[in-house]
Amino acid sequence: GSRMPDLVVVGAGLFGLTVAQQAAENGHTVRIIDVRGHIGGNAYSYMDMETGAEIHQYGAHLFHTSNKRVWDYVNRFTTFTHYEHRVYTTHDGEVYPLPINLGTINQFFHAHYTPEQARRLVEEQAGELAGTDPQNLNDKGIQLIGRPLYEAFIKHYTAKQWQTAPEELPASIIKRLPVRFNYDNHYFQDTWEGLPTDGYTNWMERMIADPKIEVSLGTDFFDESQPWNKSALVGRVPVVYTGPVDRYFDYALGELKWRTVEFKERRYDEGDHLGCAVMNFADADVPYTRAIEFKNFNPERSGHQNPGKTVVWEEYSRAASRGDEPYYPVNTDADRRLYQHYAAKAQDEPQVVFGGRLGTYAYYDMHQVINSALIAYDKQVAPLLS
Ligand code: FAD
Ligand code: UDP
């Protein structure tokens, strides 16, 4: 039906789903719309029949958090596996562990340094640009970890990711480059980590399994030929908007810049191709930044996976134009200033709450999006519903 609900949520990503769930739990009716054909936003995944892999359609998603409120909240809708994320990188014909740690350093220098010796070596090499104030990412990287490690593991990867020479990138992009002076290669250092036991999409379906919530997929908020559109709704019913903030205002002040990623799928007649879930490629001669082997995210499912086939996605990064999926905010100083102007306009919209990574032009991990949605519900949405 198209009866007016208490709340309309634009975007069925984790921000929108969390707000909808909170509203329904407090007795309100909700209509969620999404322009895509599925819920879940960028955390959506599907099962690949041939291999038994759970494919994360918009790139590898690993859940991790140290926020107790978020951890308790997500555990209402799913349990998590014991998966612990580890990443490796290929450089000059060898595979090294990441983040850069004592294992990486000793392999790279063919050495057996103690933590203290390695720390002194890195400090010495970083001393090359001591006392200077680097303005570009290249010099900043050298100043942080020294030229040899920077040039091997950071320089070309970063250039591929931004499609820009590091000498042309602002130093502000990297405030720190973590180097661990022990052999710990756990990628995340959060208290809790894991993957949803029966997959991302089942988790998110359960968040909105409430008769007070209705979902319209394939529905664009800016398409006036369908009932749940901007001009029909804004000012008449509270709206939570999680699409791009510049799009909402018809790009009136200009466009915010994003990077997008593209994936090339490869299928192999092998049980395991990479031997790990994520392999980065540090060198310039491999055109993609990293490869993802989805089966390896869920080793506990091996009994249900095809032992003779696997699927790998190579990830390519490039600047996004209007038709592309916006993935990472570019976030130059100019972008941040432009966003502040849009944020001021957003304040003046009647009964509209802007949220999520697109609505607030911010790179958020899933746990941060859920946390900000729980707060936005309490502080901004609930008052509009009472
Ligand atoms: P989204 O998930 O983008 O949802 C917004 C929704 O709004 C979309 O479904 C979109 O279709 C819809 N929409 C937009 N415009 C309209 C419109 N006009 N009408 C209707 N609907 C509209 N986080 C982690 O915690 N761990 C990770 O390992 C991780 N890896 C990532 C890897 C990649 C490549 C990317 C891009 C992100 C990753 N993230 C990760 C971040 C994670 O994806 C986000 O934190 C989360 O999905 C954001 O949720 P959201 O609701 O803010 O936005
Ligand atoms: N990075 C790098 N080499 C690597 C991995 C990361 O140089 O092998 C740098 C790169 O500049 C990148 C940043 O670290 O932009 C963050 O990378 P990470 O993989 O943590 O983030 P993601 O790309 O998944 O958001």
Please report the ipTM that was assigned to this predicted complex.
0.97
Catalytic residue among 259, 314, 339, 361: 259
Q: Are 30 and 20 in contact (CB under 8 A)?
A: yes
Which pLDDT value is given to residue 254? 96
Q: What is the pLDDT along the chain (386 residues), one digit of tens a residue?
A: 568 999 999 999 999 999 999 999 999 999 999 999 999 999 999 999 999 999 999 999 999 999 999 999 999 999 999 999 999 999 999 999 999 999 999 999 999 999 999 999 999 999 998 889 999 999 999 999 999 999 999 999 999 998 888 998 888 888 778 899 999 999 999 999 999 999 999 999 999 999 999 999 999 999 999 999 999 999 999 999 999 999 999 999 999 999 999 999 999 999 999 999 999 999 999 999 999 999 999 999 999 999 999 999 999 998 898 888 899 888 888 899 999 999 999 999 999 999 999 999 999 999 999 999 999 999 999 999 98
One-letter amino acid of 39: I
Catalytic residue among 150, 290, 293, 377: 290
Which pLDDT value is given to residue 1? 52
Q: Ligand 1 centroid to 231 CA: how many Å? A: 24
What is the domain partition of the chain in residue ranges?
Answer: 7-39+208-255+332-385, 100-173
Q: What is the DSSP letter of 358?
A: H
- Counting from 1 in the atom list of ligand 2, the atom nearest the Cα of 137 is 11
Ligand 1, atom 43, residue with closest C-alpha? 42
Pocket test for ligand 2, best of 157, 315, 316 (most atoms within 8 A of CB): 157
Q: Which fold has domain 7-39+208-255+332-385?
A: Rossmann fold (3.40.50)
Q: Ligand 2 centroid to 240 CA: how many Å? A: 31
Q: Are 122 and 149 in contact (CB under 8 A)?
A: yes
Ligand 1 close to Cβ of residue 338 (< 6 A): no
Ligand 1, atom 9, residue with closest C-alpha? 41
- Counting from 1 in the atom list of ligand 2, the atom nearest the Cα of 60 is 24
* Best CA proximity match to 218, nearest among 17, 36, 1, 31: 36
Ligand 1, atom 34, residue with closest C-alpha? 59
Q: Are 205 and 40 in contact (CB under 8 A)?
A: no
Which pLDDT value is given to residue 2? 63
Which residues are CB-contacts of 173 (< 8 A; sequence separation ≥ 6)? 137, 162
Pocket test for ligand 1, best of 8, 230, 366, 375 (most atoms within 8 A of CB): 366
- Sign, CA torsion 60/66/67/71: positive
Ligand 2 close to Cβ of residue 152 (< 6 A): no
